[in-house]
Amino acid sequence: MNCLLTNPAEFAALVQRFFADRLLQQKNASPRTIAAYHDTFRMLLCYAEREIGKPPAKLALVDFDVTLILNFLTYLESERHNSVRTRNARLATIRAFAHYVALQCPEALLLTQQIQAIPMKRFERPMLSFLSREEMQALLEAPDKQTWCGCRDHILLTLLYNTGARVSELIGIRVADVELTVSPSVRLHGKGRKQRTVPLWKETAAKIRHWLVFANLKAEQALVPTRQGLPMTRSNVAERIALAVNLAANQCPQLQGRSVTPHTLRHTTAMHLLQAGVDITIIALWLGHESPVTTHGYIEADLSMKERALAMIALPPEIGQVRYHPSDDLLKFLEGL
């Protein structure tokens, strides 16, 4: 067998060049993309060591075969209980690496073709979950605004609801990204290094002004930091939202037992804008969607809009089902002819 396929040093060099040359230099991938690829390889290498007994330093390209990858994907779903979407994202990373290996090492072409032929799994798309206006108001009022953490959490929830930001966008907001003078707005750093500016409601801008003075934040700091002044993590945000939901459930029983995530609040923003009559293309820009087609899911999720549309439809009567009855005045007129 070709020594390139059995040499652990060659496999290690390919992985290193994939990250350093392909992702960083050639594709200029974002730090978030690099981190996601890094997590996939870390889990795959740990799984390979467990299953075939080879530590990462002794793993060769020949070990990186379709059987290992298929078993790894099964492990993600069965043992780690990852969703199909997460499984597909991990597979996309592995297929990208296989494509790079095929270009760099033609001897491994058959091996990489087999990996690239692994299909993505289809999955059911659940209906979008969102909060009613009453539930959202109860959630906003839940944190104790007399404390530092409570005030920070109130700003966090208000920003998520006002902007419809993804959690990664929220934790990336710095004080310098907020404009509070003429036209209050916030600059969000979105997926694929795209940036967009979202207007702030007057109430939101007033709360942020108070928060900046209360927390004594500097321009380079995160707008919603931890107590140590560092940017919050995704898990931090999820925990604070879960805490607010538990508190809000005392005033709003409908929230009892509800699973509310940062993305639930993003859906809530979109739905409330849609119900207020905002054009769907504007909502797509607001949320940073590539296309309004992505935003159409909110129309499908809004039952009240469907009911209103149904009420506007006048179904034509079937032939012979409705008979014409002339008025009395018309009958008298006909009799006098």
Contact yes or no for 266/166 (Cβ under 8 A) = yes
Residue of 270, 293, 296 lying closest to 283 (CA atoms): 270
Alpha-carbon Rg for the chain, nearest whole angstrom, is 28
Instruction: State how far the Cα of 288 lies from the Cα of 196, in Å rounded to an integer.
Output: 7
Instruction: State how far the Cα of 94 lies from the Cα of 124, in Å rounded to an integer.
Output: 23
Going 171 to 174 to 180 to 184, the CA torsion angle's sign is negative
Q: Concatenate the DSSP letters of all residues of 240-270 into one string.
A: HHHHHHHHHTTT-GGGTT----HHHHHHHHH
From the candidates 87, 166, 240, 272, give the one annotated as an active-site residue: 166
Q: Clarify whether 125 is annotated catalytic.
A: no
From the candidates 17, 99, 196, 263, give the one annotated as an active-site residue: 263
In the chain, the largest separation of any two C-alpha atoms, in whole Å, equals 110
Going 38 to 263 to 127 to 289, the CA torsion angle's sign is negative
Contact yes or no for 144/150 (Cβ under 8 A) = yes
What are the residue ranges of helices labelled H in the chain?
3-6, 8-17, 31-52, 66-78, 84-104, 109-116, 133-141, 148-163, 167-171, 202-215, 234-248, 262-275, 280-287, 292-301, 303-311, 328-335
Q: Clarify whether 266 is annotated catalytic.
A: yes
For 288, half-sphere exposure in the C-beta direction (CA atoms, 13 angstrom radius) is 19
Q: Clarify whether 263 is annotated catalytic.
A: yes
Instruction: State how far the Cα of 97 lies from the Cα of 99, in Å rounded to an integer.
Output: 5
From the candidates 191, 210, 218, 308, give the one annotated as an active-site residue: 191
Beta carbons within 10 angstroms of residue 145's beta carbon:
17
Residue of 161, 167, 165 lying closest to 207 (CA atoms): 161
**Positions marked catalytic:** 166, 191, 263, 266, 289, 298
